[in-house]
Amino acid sequence: MSNTLILGAGMAGYGAAKKFKEAGVDAQVFEKENYYGGHCASFSFDNKWIFDDGPHISFTKSDNVRKVFAENVADDYYEFEATVDNYWKGQWIKHPAQINLHGLNPELNTQILTEMIACKYEENKDIRNYRDWLYASYGKTFAENFPMKYTRKFHTTEAENMSTDWLGPRLYKPDLSEVIYGMLSPATQDVHYIKGFRYPNNGGYVSFMSGIEKTYPVNYQQELTAINLKDKTATFNNQTKVQFDHVFSSLPLVDLIHRIENCPAEIKNAVNKLAWTKCVLVNFGVKRNPISPAHWRYVYDEDFYSTRLSFPGMFGPGNVPPGCSSVQVEIYFSDKYKPLTRSPEDFIPIIKDELIKLGILRINDEILIEKAWLSPFAQIVFDHDRKENVDLLHGFLMENDIHFGGRFADWNYAWSDESYLRGYNEAEKILGKI
């Protein structure tokens, strides 16, 4: 018998638990909250309204994950194509903006088009950061008017401070013909990199991982407070000490490292250089339906705190009472670049006012619920300090036989399916040692 610990009951912890259970190995799961789900948690209010911890929908291409998610909701999920748009200088523009510039100022569009044409013929571009990448891909005018504005709001820093190793298919690079067509016509094709979405009909996004309850009993409200790599002991809530042979951690890298006893100075120094965003989520439930034509909406204008708006009642009809709608607003901060100086609740009246200006709420709307909270880990900031320091920290954990995986343990941009698979695959590696 071997004593195997799983730290964290989010998607990655679930993936690890599923693999260990399938292999018939005993494992213990420890979770600091009194619920499972981590960032995939869903919160129910008055038994009527469900808001996730930030907007979540499944678009996994993995057959394995699709099967697991579908089984966990007994195939009872809602499937939809998403409509997405952007608020820019007082008007709504279809997403992505680069191929939907119809109706904007002709001088601006001429400048954008001229630069986009020039971009196509420039060779040997020296790309040192995300700003260079944006200039080279779209030209200076489009880059500065659109993605660089959004970057300041979403990543909380300048594009110049960021690398490009997180981009993948996230930003659409159109052909010139698509740009021209989108300037001339409002009727463009949908090209969002994600197509079909799934969302549980009941219980919010977390229902996709309800199978965690069939793995091992979760030890709730057990926060890892210290871990000793030499003695192989983990201490929870400063009291219970557990001896382990193997451990899988899905804890945010910074939290795990801060809990390691006798951690070398070089490692502590590296962890202090990492940047990540935290997200204030402001939620409203309204007695009116619909309140939005789009499933989610990006707000570029920097005089609005609101960064992304999503509409939980459009993801899953079970998220709102009949005849009602809900909206969730994300606002981003980071200790390194844009510290949060107010409480989440302070944003409720501010965001309500913004939603009225954006034309989503009306002054006489009956607001049936309003809630705000902070998600302390949201997006990893891919600044120039990230790679070198993350490599060092991961190397240190591996040398000390600590297995890890998931969005904040890997310190990357993983979606929920990727986090689940990281846990599952890392558990497989541990099984090879048992």
Ligand X SMILES: Cc1cc2nc3c(=O)[nH]c(=O)nc-3n(C[C@H](O)[C@H](O)[C@H](O)COP(=O)(O)OP(=O)(O)OC[C@H]3O[C@@H](n4cnc5c(N)ncnc54)[C@H](O)[C@@H]3O)c2cc1C
Angle subtended at Cα 266 by Cα 263 and Cα 267, rounded to the nearest 5 degrees: 50
* By CB under 6 A, residue 403 contacts ligand X: no
Among 4, 17, 30, 147, contact with ligand X (rule: CB under 6 A): 30
Residue 285, beta-bridge partner list: 326, 369
C-alpha to C-alpha distance for 333 and 262, rounded to whole angstroms: 31
The two tokens of residue 67 are 């099967």
Which residues have a Cβ under 8 Å from the Cβ of 429 and sit 6 or more positions away?
403
* By CB under 6 A, residue 415 contacts ligand X: yes
The two tokens of residue 213 are 């309850």
Region from 4-12, 89-97, 121-129, 289-297 binding ligand X, contact rule CB under 6 A? 4-12
Residues 337, 157 contacting (CB under 8 angstroms): yes
Phi, psi of 68 (to 5 degrees): -60, -45
* By CB under 6 A, residue 18 contacts ligand X: no
Among 85, 383, 417, 426, contact with ligand X (rule: CB under 6 A): 417
Among 414, 421, 427, 430, contact with ligand X (rule: CB under 6 A): 414
* By CB under 6 A, residue 163 contacts ligand X: no
Alpha helices in 122-175 (DSSP H): 130-138, 140-145, 147-154
Among 18, 28, 29, 32, contact with ligand X (rule: CB under 6 A): 32
Pairing of strands 77-81, 196-200: antiparallel
* By CB under 6 A, residue 327 contacts ligand X: no
Region from 107-115, 117-125, 341-349, 412-420 binding ligand X, contact rule CB under 6 A? 412-420
Q: Of 53 and 354, which CB lies nearer to ligand X in the complex structure?
A: 53
* By CB under 6 A, residue 378 contacts ligand X: yes
Binding mask 243-282 for ligand X (x = CB under 6 A): -------xx---x-----------------------x---
> Which uninterrupted H or E stretch holds 283?
strand 278-286
Q: Of 141 and 326, which CB lies nearer to ligand X in the complex structure?
A: 326
C-alpha to C-alpha distance for 301 and 107, rounded to whole angstroms: 20
In the complex, minimum distance from the CB of residue 15 to ligand X, in angstroms, rounded to a whole number: 8
* By CB under 6 A, residue 407 contacts ligand X: yes
C-alpha to C-alpha distance for 88 and 145, rounded to whole angstroms: 9
Among 283, 416, 426, 427, contact with ligand X (rule: CB under 6 A): 416
State whether residue 163 is helix, strand or coil: coil
* By CB under 6 A, residue 39 contacts ligand X: yes
Among 6, 7, 209, 393, contact with ligand X (rule: CB under 6 A): 7
* By CB under 6 A, residue 319 contacts ligand X: no
C-alpha to C-alpha distance for 308 and 354, rounded to whole angstroms: 12
* By CB under 6 A, residue 13 contacts ligand X: yes
Among 223, 301, 370, 385, contact with ligand X (rule: CB under 6 A): 223
Give which of 18, 28, 22 is closest to 243, Cα–Cα: 28
Among 5, 6, 12, 253, contact with ligand X (rule: CB under 6 A): 12
